[in-house]
Amino acid sequence: MKKVAFLNLSYNAFNKNDVWKDFFDQGSNSEYNQNSFNLYIHPKDDSQCVFSDYFIDNRVETGWGHFSLVEATIELMKAALEDEDNEYFTIISDSHVPLYSLDDVIKLIEKKYSKMTFSTHGAISTKQKSQRVLKYGIQKNRLKLLNCNYFNFYNAVCQFFVCRRKDAIQFIETFDHFSQFFVKNEIIFADEFYFWAVARELKMDFDIGQASTYSDWHEYPIEGTNRISRQPREMKYLNSLVLKTLRDQGFLFARKVMPTTEISADIFN
């Protein structure tokens, strides 16, 4: 049976461990679900929690916006490939919550993502900044030295995407080659660029389409300053109206759900 692999790039597990525990516990109550998913977590902090059993063994030290986030994602893919039944790979984070039951999320992934799918970035200003930084982050002199013509066009996409097993295999097999062109240990937003760019360079079969994850990219003033934040907004609440709106827009998950976010919606019905 084909399975969905949930790949969580995380500080520890989830900001809402209770929601995700209820979500995955549904698998123990359904023969379909028991054999239809796996969870893999790459934690920055490996403190014991309810999901510690899902921490992968091979981990890298990560930094915000650094290429190490790509390296960590590759390690998640490697771990997931050990189960030959894992067919769909969906990237999530500690601030995600599901917008449907486990059964419905799996069915929707199988229905909506017949091929690898990236989605456009939600914030124009952040996208433009990513483009500028990435032009620095790609080591152009190195490209010239090796007579390569990679990454001619710069664009940022949402780092949370869905791919198929064959795609993960290609990303891993070509990683040593493509990763050598990226600046390490500096903020270059590589996770918003690398996989989409490599997929394009390899002429992999993919779509630019429906995002799996909702993020609110509306700019807002930073309290106590004259500056504008260009980070996604934290969700203050998830009620039944918000849930219906996000579902109607085609999302499977919502992001930037914090420990303090109030969830009153009945997500699993």
The answer, yes or no, to whether residue 259 has pLDDT greater than 70, is yes
Per the model's pLDDT, the better-predicted residue between 44 and 182 turns out to be 44
- Do the bridges between strand 253-254 and strand 97-98 make them parallel or antiparallel, or are there none, so unpaired? antiparallel
Residue 213 confidence class, pLDDT cut points 50, 70, 90: very high
Sign, Cα dihedral of 32, 33, 34, 40: positive
18: three-class secondary structure by DSSP? helix
CA dihedral 38, 41, 47, 52 (to 10 degrees): 10
Residue 78 confidence class, pLDDT cut points 50, 70, 90: very high
The answer, yes or no, to whether residue 129 has pLDDT greater than 90, is no
| Three-state SS sequence of 183-227 | CCCCCCCHHHCHHHHHHHHCCCCEEECCCCEECCCCCEECCCCCC
- Top mean pLDDT of 46-50, 131-135, 255-259 is at 255-259
- pLDDT for 188 equals 75
What does pTM read for this prediction?
Answer: 0.90
Longest CA–CA separation in the chain, Å: 57
Q: Kindly state the percentage of the chain with pLDDT values over 70.
A: 81
- pLDDT for 189 equals 80
Arithmetic mean of pLDDT, 38-60: 95
Per the model's pLDDT, the better-predicted residue between 4 and 134 turns out to be 4
Contact predicate 58/75, CB 8 Å: yes
Map out the domains of the chain with their CATH numbers.
Answer: 3-263 (3.90.550)
d(CA 201, CA 139) in angstroms, rounded, equals 16
The answer, yes or no, to whether residue 141 has pLDDT greater than 50, is no
| Three-state SS sequence of 26-73 | HHHHCHHHHCCEEEEEEECCCCCCCCHHHECCCCCCCCCCCCHHHHHH
- pLDDT for 65 equals 85
Residue 155 confidence class, pLDDT cut points 50, 70, 90: low
The answer, yes or no, to whether residue 43 has pLDDT greater than 80, is yes
Beta bridge partner(s), residue 98:
253
Arithmetic mean of pLDDT, 207-211: 91
Mean pLDDT, rounded, of the chain: 87
Residue 152 confidence class, pLDDT cut points 50, 70, 90: low
The answer, yes or no, to whether residue 134 has pLDDT greater than 70, is no
Contact predicate 190/229, CB 8 Å: no
- pLDDT for 145 equals 46
